[in-house]
Amino acid sequence: MKTALVLGAGGFIGGHMVKRLQSDGFWVRGVDLAAHEFEMSPADDFVIADLRDGALVAELMDLPFDEIYQFAADMGGAGYVFTGDHDAQIMQNSARINLNVLRAAQAKGLKNIFFSSSACVYPQENQQDPDAPDCREDSVYPAHPDSEYGWEKLFAERLYMAFNRQYAMNCRIGRYHNIFGPLGTWRGGREKVPAALCRKVAEAADGDAIEVWGDGRQTRSFLFIDECLEATLRLMRSDCAEPVNIGSTEMVSIDALARMIMEIAGKRLEIHHVEGAQGVRGRCSDNRLIREKLGWEPTAPLRSGLVSTYEWVASQVAQNHPERKPPAI
Ligand code: NAD
């Protein structure tokens, strides 16, 4: 039986990956600082551990794991990474995790690691035009990410590639572009825009206004979790050693995203634009490289993933406000 180690298994993507690997027949050890917030992890072995502790990380690698998935990071949406209030913490925590993981894996002879990088590595100058952002993989240098979160991801990418070169490891690097779906953080300050807008719509009554940060004309693309898992596994098992975008090319404005969620919810709401962290003006995955290297690109439209995401967030809102029943969709 094949074995996998999923780091950050208590989080959104890691939690889904545990289930996907198990359904593919893997025995899975999951590790996180905390248990999964929304469900009991089905991992065959779930260890609560702090990956900033190098000795602990080495202990966790006591099996000849076929695959290691490194999702653990100090992270959140725009309200967490763009305020400046968490910069030192984000850089220090995530860098320590990645340094520990690589050192321990190399020492134990574990070679196959997937690292979850981010679209936040791309230079801010290339993302000023909301209609034509440039996120080709090779546009990343000269580097100028718009957040310290992005700089740490860029450092970590280089670290994984350096271990590939010096120790003949097979690290694979996916640059995720806004992954969304059920079982993700939807409140508390770390939530990302699809979950935050689903929550605002679910909490609103017909005729209310929901708040959107900025002018709502900033653009992004969003990838549903199932597609993300598929691309991640394909990349992990490929011979593609360079960083690759994992995202969708269906670019929408934040206002359009909000309106799509309102339509799914069957609610007529106003949009009220307010000051708030926004990041770059435009960002969209460029999928030419992943098509060429893996013969893959996402197939499902944004709306289909939003339907199940809205349904799940609405059910969470209803549990927290029993007077608001999830709408039938
Ligand atoms: P998440 O916050 O839900 O999951 C990250 C997990 O890491 C959390 O459960 C957290 O407890 C754990 N963690 C943090 N510090 C730890 C430590 N010291 N020891 C052990 N566990 C620790 O985030 P996610 O959305 O699942 O993202 C997974 C990865 O993908 C992250 O590295 C993130 O930067 C990257 N990524 C995600 C997106 C996205 O849209 N979700 C986009 C780009 C990149």
Average pLDDT on 1-9 reads 98
Q: Ligand 1: which atom is nearest the Cα of residue 223?
A: 40
Average pLDDT on 126-153 reads 97
Q: Is the peptide bond before 42 cis (omega within 30 degrees of 0)?
A: no
Q: What does the mean pLDDT of the chain come to?
A: 96
Atom 8 in ligand 1: which residue has the minimum CA distance? 11
Q: Ligand 1: which atom is nearest the Cα of residue 34?
A: 11
Ligand 1 near 176 CB (within 6 A): yes
Ligand 1 geometric centre to CA of 181 (Å)? 14
Spatial distance between the Cα atoms of 298 and 312, rounded to a whole number of angstroms: 22
Report the chain's C-alpha Rg in angstroms.
19
Spatial distance between the Cα atoms of 86 and 74, rounded to a whole number of angstroms: 9
Ligand 1 geometric centre to CA of 189 (Å)? 14
**b/e sequence 213-251, b meaning 16+ C-beta within 10 Å:** bbebebbbbbbbbebbbbbbbbbbebebbebbbbbbbbb
- Inform me whether the pLDDT recorded for 68 exceeds 80: yes
Q: How many degrees, rounded to 5, is the angle at CA 171 between CA 194 and CA 181?
A: 15
How does pLDDT run across 155-194, given as a tens digit for each residue? 999 999 999 999 999 999 999 999 999 999 999 999 999 9
- Inform me whether the pLDDT recorded for 222 exceeds 80: yes
